[in-house]
Structure 1
Amino acid sequence: MPTRILPAVGDADAVRSITTLLSQLPDAEPVAPVTDSTQLIDTLAHLAAESVDELPEVVVVHERIGPVPALELIREVALRFPAVGVILVTSDASPGLFQAAMDYGARGLVALPLSYEELAVRVQAVAQWSAGVRRHLGGALEVFTGVGGTVVTVSGAKGGVGTTLVAVQLALAAQASGRSTALLDMDLQTGDLASYLDVQFRRSVADLATISDISPRVLADAVFRHDSGLALLLAPGEGERGEEVTDRAARQIVGALRSRYEVVVVDCGAQLSGAGAAVVEMADTALLVTTPDVVAVRGAKRAVRMWDRLQIRKAEETTVVVNRHTRGTEIQPPLIQKITGTALTATAVPAAYKELQGAVDAGRLHELDAKSTVKQALWTLAGELGLVNAPAPDRRAGRASFRKRKEGGG
């Protein structure tokens, strides 16, 4: 059976040289190359959704792939598609990089300039490893391999716009619909999800920052299981410990959560750290919360421009949520969309602080009244974002209707 090989190469010249060599390998079946990290993950996810057997045995990652760095990309592939073997192609064949690549989940390393013999040996070894893993896991492979959970980041245009409220309610809506959901506090210096959800905790995201391999058991030890069913991974109680969470650690932590939960909601706060930027970059959906006032909208515009300059997120890839909306305010959502150049959610969250005050003061945001217009709007927003499962049809009502028609001769 031919070995399917997927090259992930951002450099045009490198694409030609690598695909030419791969096509010459015995029993090799190179597939169309992908040119960036996002395209690679999307391609693998699409193939896995069709069938696990559709996944390539080998992925070849070039050192200059982007925007996610090569080693971080290898880590994500290894976490989400564990039966796919990854080979790193690099000009640095030092023992240090080799060890780092292995630590991140690579199955091999090939030095530049490429040698046919070295590439052939490495591809064959990795393909055999991949085939062995698939035989060993057999029918259980589908349990461990999948498209991964959906990651949604919630950032604030400035402090006090309701970022945590939005993050909490989106996560609660997803959990209530039957989807396993994690809520991560990446507002590392000032995050206070614990106070809003009335929990006492010992472990935090900082405790995972120095762990190179986050196993399910290690992750479970750090996560707090809330009464609502949410899995909480909280910001450190001591703000200075937030500096321990690097962008590399953040990617690894979110990757571990994504591999275990269907939905991961991340509260990034209003001050974007390097770790927060890394998470926004890898998110499936990046929300930016603003209120309809001049100061907040200017803050939203600054944030969008900064993300674009730093190549974290393009404006059109960012979605603005308008909180505390009223029909009488001069600044309406379409104007905010025009000013920021972003996408805009169809759902705006109404200004109704009196509904929130009791739950906020009690630190019981998860007990917000179901009749609250704020809660209803945010749960509608969760549906708009695809975070909730569609309700199952009421089969009892269907059977009752059938009996009624039968008894009536209809």
Structure 2
Amino acid sequence: MAGIVVIGCADQSLAYELRSQLAEAAEVEVVGVAETTTELTAMVVQHDPNLVLVHDQLGPEPVHQVVRDLSLRRPAAVSIVVSSDSEPEALGAAMDAGARGVLAYPLSFADVQLRVVNALDWSRHMMTLLAHSGPDEANARGRATVVAVTGSKGGVGTSTVATHLAWDVKREVPSYKVLLVDLDLEKGDVTSLVEARYRTSIADLSKVAQDLSVRTVADAVFEHESGLHLLLPPQDVRDVEWVTPAAIRQIVALLRQQYDLVIVDAGAHVTPVQAAVVEIADEVVSVVTPDLISMRALRRNLGWWESLAVRKPETVHVLLNRQSRLDEVQPETVRRLSPSPLLGTVLPDLGRKLQTASNSRSPEILTDTGWWKALRGVGRELGLVRDLAQPAPDAPAPAGEAATGSLDLAPVGRRATRSARRGDRGSASVDLLGVIPWLALVCLIAWQLGVAGMTYVWTGHAASAAARSVSLQETLPETRAAAAERMPSGMRSAMSVETSPVDASWVSVRTNVPLVAPGVFSTPWQVRIDRRVVIEP
């Protein structure tokens, strides 16, 4: 069976030489050559190779740190560092990072053959052990899923989504060890959503990043009464400077060994620390809201991540939060404007329903089943909980139901009472006959006014849809079709759409006000709504 190999090397001549030497040394299949550490990590996660050859000059991240991270994420993948430095110090540094050896160049065929054959044997042995260890042990400590939750901008609900997502996974699978890391160092809100009194923060771990151990990290984690574990930001803003990308890499590498799931609230600001988390995370979720400001911020953040070579847009999941049917920007528009794929599950707009849970710092108070079902759908799409199909939590049953019944309280002398009631009903009927025509006229006028008001609302929705269509540079028939979808079927024939003939800077929709009901008759009155058009890039 051929071994699978991934090469990380930006030097084309050296990469070609490695391919040639591998083809002669052993039966292997090179599935890809990565030119950056980001591409290397993505290839290893995707292909799960037996052997990883990485050049010590590969960037932008330190090679030894990348090797250490890969050895934790893929224990059966053997890493070998290719270096021009054959000194014992270089060999020791590579071994400390988790590499199985060092290949010195100029390459020697005998050395390459020895290293590759031994590495492939070791990898196959490790895969056999993992395959026979059972699903529980295979997914146990050391291969935790790390999910980075970011926001396109401030105020989109990043901390709420991250906190409630971690809370729901822990509630769904109590045996899971779930950790929530608040890495929004200056504006972290996790402690505003979950009550926690802690002394040690992530800054204290960063101060001793070079001497970290599993025990040190475990002592810094706060365990909530719900079973959820928390690693929180420093309370003194002056300690934020201790939290560096290198320290975060060390901390996350140790956290992978202790937990099943690590969710990181990475905030909305693109900083070196956030970029490091985005690069090493298994999944990245960017939270947006249904407005164009949020979408522009999303494109900006994705562009920065790509320019820093930490994450490509197609590997980021976009999560739409606070979605409502009344929004001008609907999920389909978000999907078309987003450079990254949009998750199929969207989170509803709960309005003030979240306030009680946030003010009391108790997520369990929120009983809206739609919210928790949507969050569980997000978890399913991200693969946070595998091979489990427990139903979503239902809202608690009401404490009691009102008893219904009837009591027969008919008085004595029932016949006399009924006769008196018949007389009263007769006089009331005569009075009512005189009032009915006036009531009907008032109701008809009120109904027509309501129809006129609804015509204004429908026309506004149609104008907004037409403006979005023009902003996406669609043709005029497509713009008219988009506007018609927002109108009742009986009013579409009387609707007209006009656009600016010069620069498409505005769009106008006209509609006749129907008489009594749409599709019956039309009045001579018209409703016209104009909308400005913002052309999206």
Is 1:200 paired with 2:197? yes
Q: What does the per-residue CA deviation read over 1:48-105, in whole Å, with 9 as the maximum and x for residues that have no partner?
A: xxxxxxxx3x543223556754222210232234465432102344565444323322
1:152 Cα offset (Å) = 1.7
| Residue 63 of structure 2: aligned partner | 70
TM-score w.r.t. length of structure 2: 0.62
Assess if the C-alpha contact under 8 Å between 2:178 and 2:259 holds in 1. Answer: yes
| Residue 376 of structure 2: aligned partner | 379
| Residue 338 of structure 2: aligned partner | 340
| Residue 397 of structure 1: aligned partner | none
Q: 2:99 aligns with which of 106, 122, 129?
A: 106
Structure 2 CA distance for aligned equivalents of residues 316 and 335 of structure 1? 18
1:264 Cα offset (Å) = 1.8
1:110 Cα offset (Å) = 2.5
Structure 2 CA distance for aligned equivalents of residues 231 and 97 of structure 1? 38
| Residue 8 of structure 1: aligned partner | 7
Matches of residues 30-45 of structure 1 in structure 2 within 5 Å? 30-36=28-34, 37=40, 38-44=42-48
TM-score w.r.t. length of structure 1: 0.79
1:163 Cα offset (Å) = 0.4
SS in structure 2 at match of 1:72: helix
Assess if the C-alpha contact under 8 Å between 1:169 and 1:379 holds in 2. Answer: no
Is 1:176 paired with 2:171? yes
Q: What does the per-residue CA deviation read over 1:153-186, in whole Å, with 9 as the maximum and x for residues that have no partner?
A: 1111211111000001111222222243221111
Change in 2 beyond 3 A, CA 1:370/1:385: farther
Structure 2 CA distance for aligned equivalents of residues 132 and 294 of structure 1? 53
Assess if the C-alpha contact under 8 Å between 1:82 and 1:145 holds in 2. Answer: no
Unmatched 5+ stretches in structure 2: 35-39, 392-537
Structure 2 CA distance for aligned equivalents of residues 329 and 144 of structure 1? 45
Structure with greater Cα Rg: 2
Assess if the C-alpha contact under 8 Å between 2:159 and 2:267 holds in 1. Answer: yes
Q: 1:325 aligns with which of 323, 326, 332?
A: 323
1:236 Cα offset (Å) = 1.9
Change in 2 beyond 3 A, CA 1:337/1:345: same
SS in structure 2 at match of 1:202: coil
What is the RMSD computed on CA atoms of the aligned residues?
A: 3.4
1:335 maps to a residue whose letter is T
Is 1:309 paired with 2:302? no
1:79 maps to a residue whose letter is L
Structure 2 CA distance for aligned equivalents of residues 386 and 131 of structure 1? 27
Q: 1:188 aligns with which of 168, 185, 188?
A: 185
1:337 Cα offset (Å) = 2.8
Q: What does the per-residue CA deviation read over 1:265-304, in whole Å, with 9 as the maximum and x for residues that have no partner?
A: 1101111221211211232321111222343333222222
2:379 maps to a residue whose letter is A
Structure 2 CA distance for aligned equivalents of residues 237 and 114 of structure 1? 52
| Residue 224 of structure 2: aligned partner | 226
Structure 1 CA distance for aligned equivalents of residues 306 and 129 of structure 2? 45
SS in structure 2 at match of 1:387: coil
SS in structure 2 at match of 1:359: helix
Q: What does the per-residue CA deviation read over 1:321-379, in whole Å, with 9 as the maximum and x for residues that have no partner?
A: 22222211212222223233221122222222321111111222x32423354334323
| Residue 293 of structure 1: aligned partner | 291
1:3 Cα offset (Å) = 10
Structure 2 CA distance for aligned equivalents of residues 391 and 138 of structure 1? 23
1:139 Cα offset (Å) = 6.6
218-227 or 144-153: bigger deviation: 144-153
Unmatched 5+ stretches in structure 1: 48-55, 394-410
Is 1:211 paired with 2:209? yes
Matches of residues 147-162 of structure 1 in structure 2 within 5 Å? 148-162=143-157
Change in 2 beyond 3 A, CA 1:192/1:118: same
Assess if the C-alpha contact under 8 Å between 1:74 and 1:86 holds in 2. Answer: yes
Is 1:88 paired with 2:81? yes
